[in-house]
Chains A and B, each alone.
Chain A
Amino acid sequence: MPKISVDKLEPGMKLAKPVLAKSGMIMLGEGTELSAAWIERIQDMEITSVFIEGPTIQAVPKEEALAALQERFAKVEDKPYMNLIKKVVEKHIEGLYE
């Protein structure tokens, strides 16, 4: 779910997260398909970006993220339950890139 700057919005994009007013109240719900009119309204609000449906672009390349994971676990891998936890987290991180 990528975050898109409000001036890059295009009609047809779908909100992956609700658009909230300053008070935190929902202005537009999750899943709303944006029309040109909605986009204009959003641009008039005091927000800079919104979440759009679709895969998120991860900040770090996959290999780097997995290498960092190995390092974080290096000292505890053979401790009880730690290998189980590591496997689940590893799968989770791999899933972020699919």
Chain B
Amino acid sequence: MSKIDPKILRHKVENINTLPTVPGTLKRLTTIIEKPRITLVEISSFISNDPALTTKVLKMVNSAIYGFPGRIASVSHATMLLGLNVIKGLLLGVSVFDLMQKTMNGLYEHSLACAIASRVIAQKKGLKEPEEVSVAGLLHDIGKVILTLEFQAEYETAMSEAKNKGISIYDAEKEIFNATHANVGGWLAEKWRFPRNLVEVIEYHHRPALSKNASLETAIVHMSDLLVRARGFGFAGENLVPEVNPATFELLALTEADIRDVLNEMESSMEAVGDT
């Protein structure tokens, strides 16, 4: 199987809006969020002009994933409360939902559970913006969406390689793409003008020691991804629990009781979103 040139891969990712496989709704959204000086008001009216999007966003912010179940009535309220970056991330999250289900069944469940775990750990660690970490958890594997969409056959090979050799999908991706979903996600997050810390979380969630500006947030998503896989929620390419980065585990210093709490919150929140 010939390898894919990572330069071509990066070029494709950075010109995602010209790819025929990417649906129009996502292209319209990414055109908006890429604007250099987009304001909350502009984003708010973009959402409000689309009834289906409005419903999806309100459902998401009112779900147990963000700490405000059942309390946000309007898009403008949601944008004020959550801020630009969280709203941008959320919009992407709800917009790639269908794509995730289509290209990798179970990836959305994996991502939702990771968003919940990330918020709970962020709150435990006293981070000022737990919703931002939660959005990072929601989007951490977004690179997989683009890879499965644009390189379907190659990605299926990667998945069967992972299965047959008993290796992680991350390592199987490296063999075929010379890059991973974490690279792809990082390129996308940069292109979409997410703040540096969010780019780093996505780019380094499998190698948390490399994050310079967001080591705690990256550690949280690294740990959340692992706990979601340990519990067995969803599917992210293969069914293996990755090993925890020991320094990351020590940085987070979660007690057994903390981990139990994360699992319990994940359990009840996932049950509650199960019917959407």
Main secondary structure of the interface of B (DSSP, over half): helix
Which chain B residues numbered 215 to 238 have a C-beta less than 8 Å away from chain A? 226-227, 229-232
**Range for the number of chain B residues in contact with chain A:** 35 or more
Chain A's closest residue to B55 (CB) is: A22
Main secondary structure of the interface of A (DSSP, over half): mixed
Is B50 positioned at the interface, with any CB of A under 8 Å from its CB?
no
Is B274 positioned at the interface, with any CB of A under 8 Å from its CB?
yes
Shortest CB distance B138–A (Å):
17
Q: Kindly supply a per-residue 1/0 record for chain A positions 32-53, scoring 1 wherever the CB is within 8 Å of any chain B CB and 0 otherwise.
A: 0000000000000000110100
Specify which of B55, B73, B241 is in contact with A76 (CB 8 Å cutoff). Answer: B241
Check A96 against B267 for contact (C-beta < 8 Å).
yes
Is A63 positioned at the interface, with any CB of B under 8 Å from its CB?
no
Check B73 against A1 for contact (C-beta < 8 Å).
no
Check A72 against B271 for contact (C-beta < 8 Å).
no
Specify which of A17, A22, A79 is in contact with B243 (CB 8 Å cutoff). Answer: A79
Is B244 positioned at the interface, with any CB of A under 8 Å from its CB?
yes
Check A73 against B230 for contact (C-beta < 8 Å).
yes
Specify which of A24, A49, A72, A91 is in contact with B62 (CB 8 Å cutoff). Answer: A24
Check A23 against B58 for contact (C-beta < 8 Å).
yes
Shortest CB distance A53–B (Å):
12
Is B268 positioned at the interface, with any CB of A under 8 Å from its CB?
yes
Check B272 against A17 for contact (C-beta < 8 Å).
yes
Check B70 against A25 for contact (C-beta < 8 Å).
yes
Is A8 positioned at the interface, with any CB of B under 8 Å from its CB?
no
Question: Can you list 25 pairs linking A and B with CB atoms under 8 Å apart?
Answer: A1-B268, A1-B271, A3-B275, A18-B70, A20-B62, A22-B55, A23-B58, A24-B59, A24-B61, A24-B70, A72-B230, A75-B166, A75-B240, A76-B242, A80-B244, A81-B244, A85-B227, A86-B230, A89-B227, A89-B230, A89-B231, A89-B263, A92-B267, A93-B231, A93-B232
Residues of chain A touching chain B, judged by Cβ–Cβ distance below 8 Å, are 1, 3, 17-18, 20, 22-26, 48-49, 51, 56, 65, 68-69, 71-73, 75-76, 79-82, 84-86, 88-89, 91-93, 96
Starting from the known contacts A24-B70, A88-B259, 5 additional A-B residue pairs (CB-CB under 8 Å) come to A17-B272, A71-B239, A73-B230, A80-B244, A82-B243
Closest 9 CB pairs of A and B: A24-B62, A26-B70, A79-B243, A76-B243, A80-B246, A92-B263, A89-B230, A24-B58, A88-B259
